[in-house]
């Protein structure tokens, strides 16, 4: 599956209601890591509406970072995590769910399905996919 196909599949997981943003991103990379899809789904379950229920990091970005850690086996992950965050911010306009959804401004910067797509794309760029 290409990275664009993964991005669309992840967005559909989110839009269907079967996954939160974090789960949707993690799920499309399940075949590339040594963790079962079920375990990834469970691990990512606490990041619906972003970390801390919109107060902090977007769940889609958290999911991408989880996969990054697994794919790099923890080697150089911090540096690549910074790059992931930067790429995501460039695509979406912010990194916190609260800001992305315009909770305090009333201006939505990026809808959830697009955050999911952009997290997958950003991770794909870092992984060279």
Chain segment 65-86, per-residue pLDDT in tens: 999 999 999 888 999 999 999 9
Asked if 23 and 16 count as a contact pair (C-beta separation under 8 A), the reply is no
pLDDT of residue 54: 64
Cα 83 to Cα 75, 78, 119: the distances in Å are: 14, 9, 12
d(C-alpha 25, C-alpha 9), whole Å: 9
pLDDT of residue 29: 96
Cα 108 to Cα 21, 28, 69, 78, 101: the distances in Å are: 16, 25, 29, 29, 5
- Give me the residues of the chain with pLDDT under 70, please: 52, 54
Torsion of CA 58, 72, 14, 6, to 10 degrees: 130
């Amino acid at each position: 599956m290409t990275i664009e196909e993964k991005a669309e599949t992840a967005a559909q997981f989110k839009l269907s209601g079967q996954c939160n943003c974090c789960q949707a991103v993690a799920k499309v990379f399940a075949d590339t890591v040594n963790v079962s899809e079920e375990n990834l789904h469970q691990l990512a379950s606490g990041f619906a509406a972003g970390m801390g229920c919109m107060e902090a990091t977007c769940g889609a970005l958290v999911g991408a970072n989880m996969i990054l850690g697994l794919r790099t086996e923890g080697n150089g992950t911090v540096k690549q995590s910074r790059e992931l965050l930067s790429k995501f911010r460039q695509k979406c306009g912010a990194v916190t769910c609260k800001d992305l959804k315009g909770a305090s401004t009333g201006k939505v910067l990026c809808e959830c399905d697009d955050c999911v797509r952009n997290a997958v794309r950003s991770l794909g760029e870092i992984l060279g996919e």
